[in-house]
Amino acid sequence: MSAEGSYPLRGVRILELGQIIAGTYGSQVLSDLGAEVIKIEAPEGDLGRNPSVAPYRGASGLFLTFNRNKKSLVINLKTDAGREVFYELVKISDVVVDNFRPGVLERLQADYATLNRINPRIVHCSVTGFGTAGAYKNYPALDIIIQAISGHMAITGEPGRPPARIGVPLADLSGGIFSCKGILAALFARERTGRGARVEISMFDAMLNLLSYMGTMWLTNGELPQPPGSGHDYTVPWQAFSAKDGYVVVATREETFWRALCELLEDPELADDPRFDTNANRVKHKDVLVPHLEGIFRTRTVADWLERLRAAGVPAAPVNHFDRAFAEPPVAEREMIVEYDHPDVGTVRLPGNPIKVAGMSGTISNPAPRLGEHTDALLRELLSLTPERIAELRQQGAIK
């Protein structure tokens, strides 16, 4: 099998109307698996191109990250001629992705009902904040808004401190995480039925889902968790401890780990103390146990503790910042840094694809496109438009 043919989504064409993160991350993941992703941008471009967001040499680091491997085709969907070009592309594509506010697709005449008439096999995925109907459909869906309203900020941070946002834009990313799953499911179903489907992702829904067992405990048992910091409501010790020169995380999920920890701490009597002899008792008496452990961990360096903890088989890790995280052995072993050369900013290095498929020839990493960079080439190659017709469309304001 050729390198090109080894990608599982080779031959799948995605038209991306998405912007910033929620509407772009999912198709970027799919591009890593071989899908052809064409960004259909308005004349002013994706809002994620704003160079003040993660600025890097006059460009947006956000845009450089989430638009790797994509091609940019500028179409003005507010013009009749522009819509006709878009419709011709829909006829020969598999997926359309957007993250417009409710009602925008209908105004642009790019809603699923319209696209399905043009191509009954099309999969149309919309990422919204709160869904396309209901009381909150028009609420702004910025990442921090969704993190706050979904309950995540209430359980993030240290006890007794103000609510904290998760360090990455998880609400925005959740749109991409779940949209690519929905798209793959719809494409799989199409193999059986021959018909496309409408996929709708609400970021609010996604974040509620990511509350996982903590959501279950509230819904089932009425438990309202408090921000645990690095700790854990149900397991002790399971947190970061301050060492001489940094922090080390210890997670004693099983009793064997707890007893091994007590031995290496040279405090074996802890293991049999009736206050700490079971995890349930350690949770009950954590206000006594944790300060005792904190005093011990402050006596050695992170490296010293890691050597001892790992030798004893106790789950442990350093609290790395990015410089150390990207220097850990699995990064190189699993090719988790990729790079490309961008014509405007030079070499861009970025996190790689975590999905490893047997036989796949590594991560595709082509530059994020300039605005409209591929417009003429795609119209020639995909729609067989002549230079004269392309010039006419440009003069009409349909393309750029």
276 shares its domain with 144: no
Q: What is the pLDDT of residue 5?
A: 57
365 shares its domain with 289: no
Q: For a pLDDT cut of 90, what percent of the chain falls above it?
A: 96
Domain that includes residue 301, residue range: 238-319
Answer whether residue 151 is part of any domain: yes
- In the predicted model, what is the mean pLDDT of the chain? 96
293 shares its domain with 157: no
Q: What is the pLDDT of residue 54?
A: 96
Q: Give dist(CA 99, CA 113) in Å, integer.
A: 17
Q: How confident is the model at residue 361 (pLDDT cuts 50, 70, 90)?
A: confident
Judged against a pLDDT cut of 70, whether residue 295 lies above it is answered with: yes
Question: 191 and 121 in contact (C-beta within 8 Å)?
Answer: no
Q: Give dist(CA 120, CA 198) in Å, integer.
A: 11
244 shares its domain with 385: no
Answer whether residue 233 is part of any domain: no
Answer whether residue 225 is part of any domain: no
Domain CATH for 286: 3.30.1540.10
Which of 66-75, 256-265, 307-316, 355-364 comes out lowest in average pLDDT? 355-364
Answer whether residue 230 is part of any domain: no
Q: Where are the alpha helices (DSSP H) in the chain?
A: 25-32, 61-66, 80-91, 104-108, 112-118, 143-149, 170-193, 203-209, 212-221, 255-264, 269-272, 279-284, 286-297, 302-311, 322-325, 329-333, 375-383, 387-395
Task: Please identify every residue annotated as catalytic.
Answer: 232
Answer whether residue 175 is part of any domain: yes
174 shares its domain with 299: no
56 shares its domain with 144: yes
Q: Which of 274, 292, 319 is the last residue of a domain?
A: 319
Answer whether residue 220 is part of any domain: no
336 shares its domain with 290: no
169 shares its domain with 242: no
Domain CATH for 115: 3.40.50.10540
pLDDT per residue as tens digits for the range 209-258: 999 999 999 999 999 999 999 999 999 999 999 999 999 999 998 999 99
Q: How many domains does the chain have?
A: 2
Q: Give dist(CA 85, CA 98) in Å, integer.
A: 17
103 shares its domain with 195: yes
Answer whether residue 42 is part of any domain: yes
343 shares its domain with 389: yes
Cα angle, residue 175 at apex, residues 90 and 56 outer, rounded to 5°:
90
Question: What pTM, to 2 d.p., does this model score?
Answer: 0.93
Answer whether residue 400 is part of any domain: no
92 shares its domain with 43: yes
Within 10 angstroms of residue 321's Cβ, the number of other Cβ atoms is: 9
pLDDT per residue as tens digits for the range 266-281: 988 899 999 999 999 9
